[in-house]
Amino acid sequence: MGKSNTKSKFKDFLLTQGLKSTNQRELILEEFLRAGSHLSTEDLYLRLRMKNPRIGYATVHRTLKLFAECGIAEQRHFGDGQARYEASAQDEHHDHLICISCGKIVEFEDSRIEELQMEVAGEHGFSIERHRLELYGYCSSCSTSI
Protein backbone atom coordinates (compact mmCIF):
# COMPACT_ATOMS: atom_id res chain seq x y z
CA MET A 1 0.00 0.00 0.00
CA GLY A 2 1.38 3.40 -1.01
CA LYS A 3 1.77 6.18 1.51
CA SER A 4 -0.88 8.43 0.05
CA ASN A 5 -3.23 5.48 -0.13
CA THR A 6 -2.64 4.84 3.56
CA LYS A 7 -3.30 8.47 4.35
CA SER A 8 -6.64 8.44 2.60
CA LYS A 9 -7.54 5.18 4.27
CA PHE A 10 -6.94 6.87 7.60
CA LYS A 11 -8.99 9.90 6.62
CA ASP A 12 -11.84 7.66 5.56
CA PHE A 13 -11.62 5.86 8.87
CA LEU A 14 -11.80 9.13 10.80
CA LEU A 15 -14.79 10.25 8.77
CA THR A 16 -16.77 7.08 9.13
CA GLN A 17 -16.08 6.96 12.87
CA GLY A 18 -17.12 10.55 13.42
CA LEU A 19 -13.59 11.46 14.45
CA LYS A 20 -11.76 14.60 13.51
CA SER A 21 -8.80 15.23 11.29
CA THR A 22 -6.17 17.13 13.21
CA ASN A 23 -2.72 18.45 12.59
CA GLN A 24 -1.23 16.13 15.19
CA ARG A 25 -2.76 13.06 13.61
CA GLU A 26 -1.39 14.01 10.23
CA LEU A 27 2.08 14.65 11.59
CA ILE A 28 2.09 11.38 13.50
CA LEU A 29 0.96 9.38 10.47
CA GLU A 30 3.58 11.02 8.26
CA GLU A 31 6.37 10.32 10.69
CA PHE A 32 5.11 6.79 11.26
CA LEU A 33 5.22 6.06 7.53
CA ARG A 34 8.60 7.73 7.12
CA ALA A 35 10.25 6.07 10.09
CA GLY A 36 10.05 2.45 9.06
CA SER A 37 8.60 -0.34 11.08
CA HIS A 38 8.92 -1.76 14.55
CA LEU A 39 8.90 1.52 16.44
CA SER A 40 7.77 1.76 20.01
CA THR A 41 5.48 4.58 21.08
CA GLU A 42 8.49 6.14 22.77
CA ASP A 43 10.58 5.93 19.59
CA LEU A 44 7.96 7.68 17.52
CA TYR A 45 7.29 10.24 20.24
CA LEU A 46 10.96 11.19 20.42
CA ARG A 47 11.27 11.50 16.64
CA LEU A 48 8.23 13.76 16.58
CA ARG A 49 9.48 15.87 19.46
CA MET A 50 12.64 16.75 17.58
CA LYS A 51 10.65 18.28 14.77
CA ASN A 52 7.66 19.56 16.67
CA PRO A 53 7.74 19.91 20.45
CA ARG A 54 4.02 20.53 20.60
CA ILE A 55 3.07 16.86 20.54
CA GLY A 56 2.36 14.86 23.67
CA TYR A 57 3.14 11.26 24.39
CA ALA A 58 -0.53 10.53 25.11
CA THR A 59 -1.50 11.72 21.66
CA VAL A 60 1.10 9.54 19.99
CA HIS A 61 -0.12 6.59 22.03
CA ARG A 62 -3.75 7.21 21.18
CA THR A 63 -3.03 7.80 17.53
CA LEU A 64 -1.08 4.56 17.19
CA LYS A 65 -4.08 2.77 18.66
CA LEU A 66 -6.25 4.44 16.04
CA PHE A 67 -3.87 3.23 13.33
CA ALA A 68 -4.27 -0.29 14.62
CA GLU A 69 -8.09 -0.02 14.75
CA CYS A 70 -8.11 1.40 11.28
CA GLY A 71 -5.97 -1.45 10.02
CA ILE A 72 -2.98 0.55 8.81
CA ALA A 73 -0.72 -0.58 11.65
CA GLU A 74 -0.29 -3.62 13.85
CA GLN A 75 0.90 -3.88 17.38
CA ARG A 76 3.71 -6.31 18.14
CA HIS A 77 5.51 -7.53 21.24
CA PHE A 78 9.03 -8.87 21.01
CA GLY A 79 9.59 -9.66 24.64
CA ASP A 80 11.35 -6.49 25.76
CA GLY A 81 8.21 -5.27 27.48
CA GLN A 82 7.51 -2.56 24.93
CA ALA A 83 4.75 -2.56 22.35
CA ARG A 84 5.95 -1.87 18.83
CA TYR A 85 3.96 -0.90 15.77
CA GLU A 86 4.50 -1.72 12.15
CA ALA A 87 2.70 -0.66 9.02
CA SER A 88 0.31 -3.40 7.92
CA ALA A 89 1.01 -5.30 4.78
CA GLN A 90 -2.11 -5.04 2.65
CA ASP A 91 -2.86 -8.71 2.40
CA GLU A 92 -0.03 -10.96 3.38
CA HIS A 93 1.10 -11.86 6.81
CA HIS A 94 4.74 -12.06 7.77
CA ASP A 95 6.83 -13.28 10.68
CA HIS A 96 10.05 -12.09 12.29
CA LEU A 97 13.68 -12.97 12.74
CA ILE A 98 15.15 -11.09 15.70
CA CYS A 99 18.86 -10.77 16.45
CA ILE A 100 19.39 -11.18 20.18
CA SER A 101 22.73 -9.43 19.95
CA CYS A 102 22.11 -6.25 17.94
CA GLY A 103 18.31 -6.15 17.95
CA LYS A 104 17.99 -6.22 14.17
CA ILE A 105 14.55 -7.35 13.01
CA VAL A 106 14.01 -9.04 9.64
CA GLU A 107 10.62 -9.95 8.22
CA PHE A 108 9.92 -13.15 6.36
CA GLU A 109 7.03 -15.18 5.04
CA ASP A 110 6.82 -18.87 4.30
CA SER A 111 3.62 -20.40 3.04
CA ARG A 112 4.84 -23.92 3.76
CA ILE A 113 5.05 -23.09 7.46
CA GLU A 114 1.60 -21.50 7.36
CA GLU A 115 0.14 -24.62 5.82
CA LEU A 116 1.64 -26.86 8.47
CA GLN A 117 0.27 -24.55 11.15
CA MET A 118 -3.25 -24.95 9.78
CA GLU A 119 -2.78 -28.69 9.64
CA VAL A 120 -1.58 -28.93 13.24
CA ALA A 121 -4.37 -26.65 14.47
CA GLY A 122 -6.95 -28.78 12.66
CA GLU A 123 -5.63 -31.90 14.36
CA HIS A 124 -6.41 -30.26 17.70
CA GLY A 125 -9.82 -29.00 16.63
CA PHE A 126 -8.74 -25.36 16.53
CA SER A 127 -9.67 -22.83 13.88
CA ILE A 128 -6.90 -20.26 13.69
CA GLU A 129 -7.53 -16.53 13.55
CA ARG A 130 -3.95 -15.35 13.71
CA HIS A 131 -0.53 -16.50 14.76
CA ARG A 132 2.81 -15.34 15.92
CA LEU A 133 6.10 -16.82 14.86
CA GLU A 134 9.36 -15.32 16.03
CA LEU A 135 12.83 -16.76 15.55
CA TYR A 136 15.46 -15.46 17.95
CA GLY A 137 19.14 -15.88 17.22
CA TYR A 138 22.22 -14.18 15.80
CA CYS A 139 22.28 -12.35 12.49
CA SER A 140 25.21 -12.86 10.13
CA SER A 141 27.15 -9.81 11.37
CA CYS A 142 26.76 -10.78 14.99
CA SER A 143 27.59 -14.45 14.60
CA THR A 144 30.80 -13.80 12.66
CA SER A 145 32.04 -11.23 15.19
CA ILE A 146 31.97 -13.68 18.10
Partner DNA sequence: CGCCTAGTTGAAAACGGATTTCAATTTAAA
Partner DNA sequence: TTTAAATTGAAATCCGTTTTCAACTAGGCG
User: Considering only 14-22, 31-39, 100-108, 127-135, which stretch makes contact with DNA by CB under 7 A?
Assistant: 14-22
Q: Is 23 in the site for DNA (CB under 7 A)?
A: yes
Using alpha carbons only, how large is the chain's radius of gyration in Å? 18
Q: Is 145 in the site for its own copies (CB under 8 A)?
A: no
Strand partners, 77: 83
Q: Is 138 in the site for its own copies (CB under 8 A)?
A: yes
91-95 own/partner pairs: CB under 8 Å, 24+ apart: 93/130, 93/131, 95/132, 95/133, 95/134, 95/135
Q: Is 14 in the site for DNA (CB under 7 A)?
A: yes
Instruction: Give least dist CB 72 to DNA, A.
Output: 16
CA 113 to chain centre: 21
Site string for its own copies, 96-135 (x = CB under 8 A): -x-xx-----x-x-x-xx--xx--xx--xxxxxxxxxxxx
Give which of 59, 74, 61 is closest to 22, Cα–Cα: 59
Binding site for its own copies (CB under 8 A): 77, 79, 97, 99-100, 106, 108, 110, 112-113, 116-117, 120-121, 124-140, 143
